Amino acid sequence: MVGYNMGHLASGTVEVVCGPMFSGKTEELIRRVRRAQIARQKVQIFKPTIDDRYHKSDVVSHSSLSVEAQPVTSSTEILANLYDSTRVVAIDEIQFFDEKIIPVIKKLARRGIRVICAGLDQDYKGSSFGPLPELLCMADRVDKIQAICTVCGAPASKTYRRNAEEMSDQVLVGESDHYEARCRGHWDDHEEDEDLLAFSHSLQSGETSHVSE
């Protein structure tokens, strides 16, 4: 018999907080961690070593709220460093992890652990970032949060990179000197997909189209 009130069989959950840069993803991760700590749950926080913007051992958000985080160089290191008593695992900058992060998260959830992930869903080109597509798909809860467009003040779900032509690396960790949050209209570089453009032209000139102008 399976009841839903059997504490020892509590199932884990996977939560994802995603969005562009400057949307407050890490603040939200820290907020959830703090609440778990108030509830006296053992929390462990991990982040990839690639993110060394501020301190080596802190998840540091842009508003300088911070919690202790353990830097790891690979996904499997999370499992290797896990304590038996840990009930909540928070992982920041999830987009920089290797593809093994998916089976690692599944394993954590299977152990009954609440996994909270935060990271970029898209790079500055608007392409999906690292393990995010599969992660968003398998998650129990997804919160896609927005920043504010630096041009017009509208909600922003895109990360815009200034001087993009000078750089080609997707994994560039930087602050506001390279990136800003933009709404879709102010992010779009108007380089439309050639195939899509050709397709729409063929529709306009084709017999099946009855649209004038």
Q: Which residue has the tokens 């063929």?
A: 202
Q: Is 183 in the site for Zn ion (CB under 5 A)?
A: yes
Q: Which residue has the tokens 């603040």?
A: 27
CB 21 within 8 Å of CB 179:
yes
Tell me the Ramachandran region of residue 130: left when phi exceeds 0, alpha when psi lies from -120 to 50, beta otherwise.
left
Supply angle C-alpha 133, 99, 132, rounded to 5.
Answer: 20
Active site residue 93: yes
Q: Which of 15, 27, 77, 93 is catalytic?
A: 93
Q: Is 142 in the site for Zn ion (CB under 5 A)?
A: no
Q: Is 181 in the site for Zn ion (CB under 5 A)?
A: no
Q: Is 148 in the site for Zn ion (CB under 5 A)?
A: no
Residue 31 or 186 with smaller CB distance to Zn ion: 186
Distance CA 37, CA 35 (A): 5
Q: Is 149 in the site for Zn ion (CB under 5 A)?
A: yes
83-93 in b/e form (b: 16+ CB < 10 A) is eeebbbbbbbb
Which listed residue (137, 152, 171, 197) binds Zn ion by CB under 5 A? 152
Q: Is 167 in the site for Zn ion (CB under 5 A)?
A: no
Supply angle C-alpha 24, 29, 34, rounded to 5.
Answer: 125
Q: Is 151 in the site for Zn ion (CB under 5 A)?
A: yes
Q: Is 186 in the site for Zn ion (CB under 5 A)?
A: yes
Smallest gap from residue 160 Cβ to Zn ion (A): 10
Smallest gap from residue 122 Cβ to Zn ion (A): 16
Q: Site residues (CB under 5 A) for Zn ion?
A: 149, 151-152, 154, 183, 186
- The residues that are catalytic are 93
